[in-house]
């Protein structure tokens, strides 16, 4: 008798897709707002405000709903959760912010979303997942798209762009590693405890770096900066961290990262409209290759998970 997918598994997959849809909006379009904010504030200071503000809000909600005894993760998980949280938290967001200071938001978006390439590699190395023809083909297309974007004919290699390229790719690797490490074990702490702890770790690190490195950085208060910061605290940070943890508890990290490759479609279009960044042939070809690779992997995975009728 052919294997039939359990209804609970189907529900978990659909709920994960719903959570990832929130992330596609929250993360895919946030590069544009960060790019605008950096004209008024330093990258470390902006991210410190973002993470500390989100940690404060989540912490207050936990205190009011559960009390102080349920604020922190269970003992034995705190160090691991802090380290894992720093990779897609402080490390990723600071590298994204730094990248936006050197290259266009469109290029940063596409480079960050090479994440599935590194996630698949780490999943094979750490989680013992297997390579298949389809996911290797998807990764190959993703790499091809990245090469189209950053080759010297499309993106000039010079002192003003190389740091941005390096920061974006390193951020994608850090994000992938954190996602795979999170999937490596089952956590006893609640999702909101995990989110609070990870946001707190990222907030403390970015605040320390802001104090050390940006004491003399220009700061221009404005209504636009306040709105962008508030939005970042609530949606791309507090809510998005919770959604990402929830999604990773439902589906594989490699699959979740592939779904998020739909984010560049939204992010690149928004950067074109709001920032006036051109959609060059290299950018369009790169985006098409990266997204096609993601769809190839996803469609193959969906066909393998699809419930089948019982054999007669």
pLDDT the model gives residue 140: 80
Q: Which two tokens mark 82?
A: 């802090």
Q: Is residue 145 domain-resident? A: yes
Q: Is residue 262 domain-resident? A: yes
pLDDT the model gives residue 54: 93
Q: Is residue 168 domain-resident? A: yes
pLDDT the model gives residue 51: 94
Q: Is residue 144 domain-resident? A: yes
pLDDT tens digit string along 126-184? Answer: 988 777 777 777 778 877 876 776 666 656 667 778 888 899 999 999 989 998 998 88
d(C-alpha 264, C-alpha 60), whole Å: 33
Q: Is residue 2 domain-resident? A: no
Contact 39, 101 (CB under 8 A): no
Q: Is residue 204 domain-resident? A: yes
Q: Which of the pair, 216 or 291, is modelled with greater confidence?
A: 216
**Closest alpha carbon to 203 in 173, 233, 224:** 233
Q: Is residue 178 domain-resident? A: yes
**Closest alpha carbon to 215 in 50, 49, 98, 44:** 44
Is 306 a residue whose pLDDT tops 60? no
Q: Name the band, by pLDDT with cuts 50, 70 and 90, for residue 307.
A: very low
Give the total number of structural domains in the chain: 1
Supply the mean pLDDT for the chain: 80
CB atoms within 10 A of CB 7: 9
- Domain containing 31: what range? 7-305
**Closest alpha carbon to 189 in 78, 85, 299:** 78
Contact 138, 297 (CB under 8 A): yes
pLDDT tens digit string along 69-99? Answer: 889 999 999 999 999 989 988 898 889 888 8
Is 122 a residue whose pLDDT tops 70? yes
Q: Which two tokens mark 2?
A: 């052919």
């Amino acid at each position: 008798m052919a294997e039939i997918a359990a209804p609970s598994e189907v529900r978990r997959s659909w709920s994960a897709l719903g959570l990832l849809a929130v992330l596609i909006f929250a993360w895919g379009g946030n590069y544009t707002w960060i790019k605008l904010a950096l004209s008024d504030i330093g990258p470390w200071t902006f991210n410190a405000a973002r993470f500390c503000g989100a940690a404060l809000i989540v912490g207050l909600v936990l205190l009011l709903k559960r009390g102080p005894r349920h604020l922190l993760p269970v003992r034995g998980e705190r160090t691991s959760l802090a380290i894992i949280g720093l990779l897609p938290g402080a490390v990723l967001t600071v590298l994204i912010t730094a990248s936006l200071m050197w290259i266009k938001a469109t290029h940063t978006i596409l480079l960050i979303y090479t994440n599935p390439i590194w996630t698949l590699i780490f999943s094979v190395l750490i989680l013992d997942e297997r390579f298949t023809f389809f996911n290797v083909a998807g990764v190959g297309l993703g790499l091809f798209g990245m090469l189209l974007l950053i080759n010297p004919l499309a993106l000039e290699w010079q002192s003003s762009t190389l740091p941005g390229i390096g920061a974006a790719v390193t951020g994608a690797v850090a994000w992938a590693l954190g996602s795979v490490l999170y999937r490596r074990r089952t956590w006893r702490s609640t999702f909101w405890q995990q989110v609070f702890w990870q946001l707190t770790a990222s907030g403390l690190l970015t605040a320390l770096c802001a104090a050390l490195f940006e004491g003399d950085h220009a700061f221009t208060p404005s209504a636009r900066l306040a709105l962008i910061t508030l939005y970042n605290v609530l949606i791309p940070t507090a809510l998005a961290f919770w959604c990402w943890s929830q999604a990773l508890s439902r589906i594989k990290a490699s699959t979740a990262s592939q779904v998020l490759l739909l984010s560049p479609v939204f992010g690149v279009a928004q950067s074109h409209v709001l920032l006036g960044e051109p959609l060059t042939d290299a950018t369009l070809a790169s985006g098409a290759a990266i997204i096609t690779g993601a769809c190839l992997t996803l469609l193959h995975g969906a066909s393998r998970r699809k419930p089948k009728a019982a054999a007669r």
